[in-house]
Amino acid sequence: MDINTLIAIFVFATGLCIGSFLNVVALRGLSGESIVFPPSKCPKCGKKLNWYTNIPVISYIFLLGKCQFCKKPISLQYPIVEAANAILYLIMFLSFGLSLKTLFLCAISSIFILICITDFKEQVVLDVHTYILIALGLLYNILHLGSITILESILGLIAGYLIFELFAHLGTLFIKTRAFGEGDTLIAVGLGALLGLKMLILCAFLSLILQAFFAIPMLFVKYVKKKNFSGASAIFIAVAGIVSLKLVNPDSTYYFACLLAICAILLLCLFEILRNLKNKTSESLSYMPFGPAMVVSALLVIFFSKQIIGIFIG
């Protein structure tokens, strides 16, 4: 076994261990508990966990997904977060080698995971996580690890705040509440510091696409359950239009009809999102937190920015 394989195994194992710690940081951050004391315990029965039940992923499999004491199910969040963090660490190492750049991107990817956990669970983005992201983004470019200058990093930071706050307050104008939370603005500030203004705009655009990708099927299920078959049919027709775009001549009337169908479904999704915001509810099946979409988009931009730009501008 060569040295690179051994290092890759070590990086993966480290990612698993840090992933386990991220679960603690996120959940205790939401509850206001210390991340040091008390020791790890079952959230259902409160019993202190033995060391061998804290081995990332392996313990979950060994215990068949149940607490060793009360036998109640352990959330799938734990192994998913552990495995996701380990995979991201491994990808960073395989992409950039054993370097300072890899170390920074691993730290940033762990912050991304923390943001996803808290936003999915409670629709909350903790300030401390975004402040760390902002600091890492600036330091990343101060050390010339990225592709932008420190000036571009600072401009991206400022632009991220101004642009996202502008759109957030437009929501106040039209629906009497912010279009998205202050945490999302701080994520944009961090991504602007990390990637610069141009890539931040690309991240925001990709985030909207990811939102629609998940929201459209959820909206379809919601309409079917409510027996709103006209709404469900509209979504089906619009999705069929999207699929058909690559199959028809751009000069044909049918191509124009497909574009109209796509615009209709996007307007429908926008209406649903605005309605949920106005009613201050997240229980609708069409609701998706924006923070996770932003950080996933940022990871895509870090690795595939040229390919993504090529898709949209040919």
Q: What is the DSSP string of 14-81?
A: HHHHHHHHHHHHHHHHHHT--SSSSPPB-TTT-PBPPGGG-STTHHHHHTTTB-TTT-PBPPTHHHHH
User: Does residue 256 sit within a domain?
Assistant: no
In a domain, 135, yes or no: no
- Say how far apart CA 254 and CA 127 lie, in whole Å: 48
At residue 253, the pLDDT reads 66
Write down the pLDDT at residue 235: 64
Q: Residue 287: which residues within 8 A CB-CB, separation 6 or more?
A: 215, 273, 276, 281
Residue 211 to residues 153, 208, 214, 291, Cα–Cα distance (Å): 26, 5, 6, 10
Q: Is residue 60 part of a domain?
A: yes
* Cα–Cα distance, 151 to 139 (Å, whole number): 12
Backbone phi, psi, residue 57, to 5°: 65, -50
Q: What is the pTM of this model?
A: 0.84
Please list, in sequence order, all residues whose beta carbon lies within 8 angstroms of the beta carbon of residue 275, skipping any fewer than 6 positions away. Answer: 284
Indicate the residue type of 215: A
The half-sphere exposure of 198 on its side-chain side, counting CA atoms within 13 A, is 9
Is 174 buried (19+), middle (13-18) or exposed (0-12) by CB count in 10 A?
Answer: exposed
Q: Which residues pair with 41 in a beta bridge?
A: 48
Residues 6 or more apart whose CB falls under 8 angstroms from that of 118 comprise 26, 29, 30, 124, 125, 126, 129
Q: Residue 79 sits in which domain range?
A: 1-98
Q: Is 56 inside any structural domain?
A: yes
Query: Which of 2, 5, 26 minimizes the C-alpha distance to 85?
Result: 26
Residue 284: predicted pLDDT: 46
CA angle 148, 150, 153 (to 5 degrees): 70
50 falls within a domain: yes
Residues in the chain: 314
**Alpha-carbon distances, residue 278 vs 122, 171, 227 (angstroms):** 18, 9, 24
Please check whether residue 142 lies inside any domain of the structure.
no
> Residue 62: inside a domain, yes or no?
yes
- Residue-level pLDDT, tens digit, the chain, 314 residues: 788 899 999 999 999 999 999 999 998 898 888 777 777 777 777 777 777 677 888 888 888 888 877 878 888 999 999 999 999 999 999 999 999 999 999 999 999 999 999 998 888 999 999 999 999 999 999 999 999 999 999 999 999 999 999 888 877 776 677 777 889 999 999 999 999 999 999 999 888 888 777 777 776 777 677 776 666 666 666 666 666 655 666 666 666 666 676 676 666 666 666 666 555 544 444 456 788 999 999 999 999 887 777 766 65
**Tokens 């931040």 sit on residue:** 200
Tell me whether residue 280 is in a domain: no
Select from 116, 113, 293 the least CA-distant residue to 213: 293
What is the Cα 269 distance to its own chain's centre? 19
Q: How far apart are CA 267 and CA 10, in angstroms?
A: 48
230-239 long-range contacts, CB within 8 A, separation 24+: 231/268, 234/264, 234/265, 234/268, 235/265, 235/268, 237/261, 238/262, 238/264, 238/265, 238/268, 239/265
Say how many domains are in the chain.
1
C-alpha to C-alpha distance for 213 and 310, rounded to whole angstroms? 20
